[in-house]
């Protein structure tokens, strides 16, 4: 079975909720490769006792874009992003770009613990027979632009 990679991102007001949820599912996460942005990665590594959490930059400093790049490079299988819908974010364009790239590459995205629980416990996470289809971009690479 191929090891799945999960990107974990949380806004400041959601970090505790994300870390608590991952901690409750520590056994399931033990077999997964974890990527996280800045402080979220530090908190997860400490709580889980894992030194293999790949820590990227803080979201506002480019971490969201780094996760997006890893999605485009095929390194991320799932995005768990506990974002705060009640707090304006100064790096909102980066957040939208991350969610856009995840949708483009057909990556399952969870924005809350209920959805994250569905994804984490799905056959996709444990069974190589359940693969998410990657999009066919041939239309975009073969079409010509009008002159």
Q: Which residues are catalytic?
A: 64
Rg (CA), the chain: 16
Buried b (16+ CB within 10 A) or exposed e, 88-106: ebebeebbeebbebbeebe
Please name the residue that has the structure tokens 């998410």. 132
Distance (Å, whole) CA 116 – CA 124: 13
CA torsion 76-28-112-96 (nearest 10°) is -10
Q: E strands within the chain?
A: 5-10, 33-37, 54-56, 78-82, 109-110
DSSP, collapsed to helix, strand or coil, labels residue 68 as helix
């Amino acid at each position: 079975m191929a090891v799945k990679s999960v990107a974990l991102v949380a806004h400041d007001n959601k970090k505790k909720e994300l870390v608590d949820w991952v901690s409750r599912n520590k056994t399931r996460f033990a077999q997964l490769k974890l990527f996280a942005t800045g402080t979220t990665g530090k908190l997860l590594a400490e709580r889980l006792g894992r030194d293999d959490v790949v820590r990227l930059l803080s979201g506002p400093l480019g971490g969201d874009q780094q996760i997006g790049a890893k999605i485009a490079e095929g390194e991320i299988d799932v995005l768990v992003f506990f974002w705060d819908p009640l707090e304006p974010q100064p790096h909102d364009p980066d957040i939208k770009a991350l969610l856009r790239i995840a949708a483009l590459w057909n990556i399952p995205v969870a924005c809350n613990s209920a959805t994250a629980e569905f994804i984490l416990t799905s056959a996709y996470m444990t069974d190589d027979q359940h693969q998410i289809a990657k999009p066919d971009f041939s239309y975009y690479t073969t079409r010509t632009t009008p002159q």
